[in-house]
């Protein structure tokens, strides 16, 4: 191993130790800060991005940026400022129940993510529509694929730019097999397990046909649910959805021709469509508050952003590596 790689590994280890220490300290500091200055009711602030003529009411603008995954309420400083699952769900709950919110726009810019997390967002959207009777429009950004489309399907209107990458309708589960690499370097693995399938998708050996059949059944179940969601949301037959849901990606223009989106346009166009639908209200964006941990994370990212090896190590350390079912577009 080169000297540079050794230094990178040492630096990554030091960052892990520093992360643990800082997270513990930030909890104490934040608690003291809140006891002295008081804590806000929510983890976000409301910011008016466009004024309307109506004196009462508002249009809520929520954003999904990044992979849809639940990394916990207190992400470490390794994580970039991006999607926070529990925070988004609480925002969606809040705007659904807020009587002053006349309509909800969700800006979707994601390759998708976990099956469970995507389903949780879907359920909240359905609740907002049916229980609280809030119209929901989706504005697709540059990427709204797989789970990004799953959560968009129940919207009252989907708007995408002609260049938006969407589609990738399907389910994926991945693992890495390092058995040959380990054998090359003389690394051996000993596994003690309670049953023949306890170490399915182990990176240390080839998958058996029986294991593959079990995992394929899980994939098929989630795929059937994906097809149902699209068929109901887009009022399409399941046969038509299956024809489109073979994993391929579509441009926004192609998606419009296939009835996967309703209109072509950007976020401003989506706002205008919502105003035509509910009235000319103020548009309010919900932005997360920056805590001490987030500020420290930004500093760490600036320090190491120029070193690609360290950034890759950072990603490996911070990501959850266990195989899971995903509605995810992978490149």
Retrieve residue 331's tokens: 């490149």
251 a catalytic residue? no
Q: Which residue in 161, 143, 169 sits closest to 246, CA to CA?
A: 169
Q: What are the backbone angles phi and psi of residue 173, rounded to the nearest 5°?
A: -140, 130
Q: What are the backbone angles phi and psi of residue 297, rounded to the nearest 5°?
A: -60, -45
146 a catalytic residue? yes
Catalytic residue among 4, 130, 198, 315: 198
Q: Which residue in 324, 320, 225, 275 sits closest to 59, CA to CA?
A: 275
Catalytic residue among 26, 118, 146, 294: 146
C-alpha angle 182/197/113, rounded to 5°? 80
Cα–Cα distance, 259 to 193 (Å, whole number): 49
Cα–Cα distance, 169 to 62 (Å, whole number): 23
Is the separation of the CB atoms in 166 and 144 below 8 Å?
yes
Catalogue the active-site residues.
146, 198
């Amino acid at each position: 191993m080169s000297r540079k790689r050794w230094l990178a590994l040492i630096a990554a280890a030091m960052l892990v130790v520093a992360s643990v220490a800082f997270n513990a300290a930030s909890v104490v500091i934040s608690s003291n800060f809140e006891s002295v200055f008081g804590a806000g009711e929510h983890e976000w602030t409301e910011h008016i991005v466009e004024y309307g003529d109506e004196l009462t009411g508002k249009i809520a603008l929520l954003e999904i940026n990044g992979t849809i995954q639940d990394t916990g309420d207190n992400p470490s400083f390794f994580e970039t400022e991006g999607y926070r699952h529990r925070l988004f769900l609480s925002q969606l709950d809040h705007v659904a129940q807020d009587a002053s919110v006349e309509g909800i726009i969700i800006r979707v810019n994601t390759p998708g993510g976990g099956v469970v997390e995507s389903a949780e967002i879907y359920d909240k959207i359905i609740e907002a529509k049916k229980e609280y009777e809030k119209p929901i429009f989706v504005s697709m950004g540059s990427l709204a694929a797989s789970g990004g489309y799953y959560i968009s399907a129940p919207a009252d209107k989907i708007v995408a730019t002609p260049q938006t990458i969407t589609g990738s309708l399907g389910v994926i589960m991945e693992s890495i097999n390092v058995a040959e690499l380990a054998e090359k370097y003389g690394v051996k693995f000993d596994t003690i397990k309670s049953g023949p399938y306890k170490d399915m998708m182990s990176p240390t050996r080839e998958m058996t046909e029986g294991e593959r059949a079990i995992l394929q059944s899980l994939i098929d179940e989630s795929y059937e649910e994906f097809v149902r969601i699209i068929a109901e949301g887009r009022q399409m037959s399941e046969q038509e959805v299956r024809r489109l849901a073979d994993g391929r990606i579509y441009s926004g223009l192609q998606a419009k021709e296939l009835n996967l989106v309703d209109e072509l346009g950007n976020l401003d166009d989506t706002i205008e469509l919502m105003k035509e639908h509910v009235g000319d209200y103020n548009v309010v964006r919900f932005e997360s508050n920056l805590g001490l941990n987030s500020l420290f994370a930004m500093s760490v990212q600036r320090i190491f952003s120029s070193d690609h090896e360290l950034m890759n190590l950072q990603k490996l350390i911070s990501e959850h590596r266990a195989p899971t079912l995903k509605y995810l577009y992978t490149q």
